[in-house]
A and B are shown apart, each in its own frame.
Chain A
Amino acid sequence: MIRLVPRTENSAAWQLATPLLAVLATMVAGGTLFAIMGHDPFAAIRTIFWDPIFGAASGYSRPQLLVKAAPLILIASGLAIGFRAGIWNIGAEGQYIIGGVTGAAVALAAYPAEGMWIFPAMVLAGALGGWAWGMVPALLRNWFGASEILVSLMLVYVAQKVAAWMAFGPMKNPEGFGFPGSRNLQQYPAAANPELVAGTGAHWGVVAAAVAVLATWFLMSRHIRGFHIRAAGLAPRAARFAGVRPQTLVAFCLGLSGALAGMAGLFEAAGPAGQITDKFGTGYGFTAIIVAFLGRLHPVGILLAGLLLALTYIGGELAQLTLQLPAATVQVFQGMLLFFLLGFDLLTRFRIARRITA
């Protein structure tokens, strides 16, 4: 008989090994799935994980890596801080959408003015929008004890409706021939978030993601606030004894992760997406949850996990084009990744023991 025996201490080796194991298991399970569907599993895996960077078409897809990874890393950095404290913001997608809308609103209000202040003001407005959307579950939890998991998740759907309303109503491009969607900000130089270095895909969001990784690392390992966040997650009573007010922490974590998600939304709206449409939210906010956990809630891990998940986006698209794999491939892969990660995570807290039963 096989039993699970709790470990006296969490295994550090397994902490590092489980994300790698999860990636491997995803490849095996995904490959099996493709084989059943009648595709060559090795070709499919290579198309998804290898070709985007080293394949024939990598000239197009390589810059996409940073474009996709930046919002994931930016959002996951904020989420990980809350997750460390046991505060579960599941609604980053909503904060991302609202950040895009509020940031774009500044640009559209200023149009067609030119000025150096416009883009920074948009970033600020995006962060504020995301922050405000994150503060709703924070305040509801602090005042009424409402679950921030449910409230933040529900607000995603509200945010999607807000984006749709904006795209069809107040933000609709007056010169857009009746199509839903705002003006394209990429064609409005003062508000655009362009590629900074040609061929890299790096826009201001990539810079912000890099800063976020450094800043969250500094916060969590060098600053007393980060210390309190970690303490609150591990031992809430000890954190209160140290002087942490749970309400303050809830507001801080949800506000910060909301602000970062909102910023990511603005960079997307002013850059790769270019405009607010009813389909502005593409799931970065949900995928970022996987990034945060796959990265072990550690800034460096999040950086690597963000790049990996970005790869599944690009590789999945590539597999759609070249192998005619279904569009759901990406989501299946991302789902399997989280599934296997959580499954293997059991091994950091338990070890497998075999017992001969009498």
Chain B
Amino acid sequence: MADAVFRAEGIGKSYPGVRANDDVSFHVAPGEIHALLGENGAGKSTLVKMIYGLVQPDDGQMFLNGESHRPGDPRAARAAGVAMVFQHFSLFDAMTVAENIALGMENPPPRRALSARITKVSHDFGLPLDPARRVVTLSAGERQRVEIIRCLLQDPRLLIMDEPTSVLTPQEAELLFETLRKLADRGTAILYISHKLEEIRSHCDSATILRHGCVVDSCDPRAHSARELAAMMVGGEMRRIDRSGRRTGPVLLEVSGLSLPAPNAEGTALKSVNLTLRAGEILGIGGVAGNGQDELLAALSGEMRSQPGAITLEGRDLSAASPQARRVAGLLAAPEDRLGHAAVPDFSLTENTLLTAGRRKSLVRRGLIDRGAARAYAEEIIRVFDVRTPGPGTAARALSGGNLQKFVIGREVLQSPRVLVVNQPTWGVDAGAATAVRQSLLDLARQGAGIIVISQDLDELLELSDRFCALNEGRLSDPRPTENLGIDEIGLLLGGAHGMEVAQI
């Protein structure tokens, strides 16, 4: 205990109406990769924000290398030796790697010396990175390396990583872990936040598990199965996913030669996408974000129209149909971005049902809103999908990510679609809610609907889908049956080396 790099004792933090952290104590030893595990809303982010000086604890004490650690802002935390890599990057696209790193430093050395140091650190830790490249040309994995190297240049004693692998391909994740291991071997303590239990099992030395803001357990993750870890997180046995009882039927959705220009400068053009979807089937589409996922969803939902014949549902050409016409025909979609795309943050849940369910659930007749029916439908979604909320009058923004996701998926599933397209159905959703969402998709497929799951979570895709294909730079690879498909093969598909070849056949 005495030689721990970081120690927290009885940390507590309250927000209006929420006890985000309560009596949290744990320690991280030198050279240890320590996992912080918990569902969304369990208090992990609040905890690391306190360590990094973004918020101040109400009570309790923290120690860094034996000295009291109570940073008033991130600058003080960095000076004390804490570094943090956030889930979302804060880099300027138009600038080079070195310029970006210099911007984050208190006293940046001359550009040439800095470039030399960047190159040295990137070599030492096996993170290849050219300091002269512009950030706009970097992949998500490379951008993360910039953030990591920015931290490493501070020579931190405690490095905090917030869900670092969510944007990485398996190969990139492997590389990251090698780096973290090297760093740990030099004595740096690493605090690692992730939802991915397998990853924690294979790479972390110890784990502290949070639930409802309290430490409920600590363990050696290598000694437990992922199922056991999940059970500790949610405080009960995990429900097993039931894939049984599905039968594939006739072709429902056919996409052929779908090409669309990029909608904006950051967008990706779709290049001759082909796919067929049968009744009762789940098609998984993997790929690193920004490779056309949003555009594919928009093309299917009707937000972007396509050339005639590109999209047919049960023989009907829907290429030029509006989102509403597609919903009437039975083609429904749930976008990735819950707040602001799938739901209006300031609208109540009742009002948010009207966004997509107006016609199919007769909530709108001749343009007039039937408020009673909308409210009843919101209540039905809340009941069937176990959405934790005070009631249908609650604003969407007041719900936690997982609960809003259950609501959004529930809103589409309960409309009994013929085909449902979902993008990142469990992104940022805790394990319990993720299982519920996945099971509801499987149940829908069992009733004869066709489902397309676009996701970056490979475990999810393998768990759900019957066939798998990868979306890479707007090209969709040929589908492969998921049975006997290894994670390495998928990684190659995603990386594009193989996928491009397949896509062009």
Interface bits B324-348 vs A (CB < 8 Å: 1, else 0): 1001000001010101111111110
How many B residues touch A, CB cutoff 8 Å?
32
Q: Restricting to B344-401, which residues have a CB under 8 Å from any CB of A?
A: 344-347, 351, 354-356, 358, 364, 367-369, 395, 397-398
Q: Which of A224, A234, A358 has the most CB of B within 10 A?
A: A224
Contact check, A242 vs B397: say whether CB atoms are below 8 A apart: no
Chain A contributes a number of interface residues (CB within 8 A of B) equal to: 20
Bound together, the chains give a CA A200 to CA B343 distance in angstroms of 48
**Quick one: which of A222, A235, A239, A245 contacts B368, CB cutoff 8 A?**
A222
A218-259 interface with B by 8 A CB criterion: 222-225, 227, 230-231, 234-235, 237-243, 245
The CA of A234 and the CA of B355, in the complex, are separated in Å by 13
Say which residue of A227, A235, A237, A239 sits within 8 Å of B369 (CB atoms).
A227
Chain A residues near B356 (CB, 8 Å)?
A: 241-242
Query: Which residues of chain A are near B342, meaning CB under 8 Å?
Result: 238, 241
Task: Pick the residue among B347, B364, B397 that contacts A231 (CB under 8 A).
Answer: B347
Q: How far is the CB of B71 from chain A (nearest CB, A)?
A: 12
Number of A-B contacts (CB under 8 A): 67
- Docked-complex contact A234 and B344, CB < 8 angstroms: yes
Cβ-defined contact, A243 with B322, below 8 A: yes
The answer to whether A227 and B341 touch across the interface, beta carbons within 8 angstroms, is: no
Asked if residues B358 and A241 are in contact (CB atoms below 8 Å), the reply is: no
Across the interface, name the chain B residue whose C-beta is closest to A239.
Answer: B344
Contact (Cβ within 8 A) B354 A224: yes
User: Quick one: given A231-B347, A243-B302, A243-B323, are A238 and B340 in contact (CB under 8 Å)?
Assistant: yes
Known: A235-B345, A241-B335. A223 touches B72 (CB 8 A): no
The verdict on B301 contacting chain A, using a C-beta distance below 8 Å, is: yes
Chain A residues contacting B322 (CB-CB under 8 Å) are: 243, 245
Is the beta-carbon distance between A223 and B368 smaller than 8 angstroms? Answer: yes
- Minimum C-beta distance from A1 to chain B (A): 14
What DSSP secondary structure best describes chain A's contact surface?
helix
Task: Knowing A223-B367, A223-B368, A224-B368, say if A238 contacts B323 (CB, 8 Å).
Answer: no
B303 interface contact, C-beta 8 A: yes
Q: Which residues of B contact A238 (CB under 8 A)?
A: 340-344, 355
User: Which residues of chain A have C-beta atoms less than 8 A from B346's C-beta?
Assistant: 10, 234-235
Known: A9-B397, A224-B358, A243-B302. A237 touches B341 (CB 8 A): yes
Closest approach, in angstroms, between the C-beta of B215 and any C-beta of chain A? 27
Judge whether A235 and B344 touch: CB under 8 Å.
Answer: yes
- B residues neighboring A (CB under 8 Å): 72, 301-303, 322-324, 327, 333, 335, 337, 339-347, 351, 354-356, 358, 364, 367-369, 395, 397-398
Given contacts A224-B358, A225-B367, A234-B344, 11 further A-B contacts (CB under 8 A): A9-B395, A9-B397, A222-B369, A224-B354, A235-B344, A238-B341, A238-B355, A240-B303, A241-B341, A242-B356, A243-B323
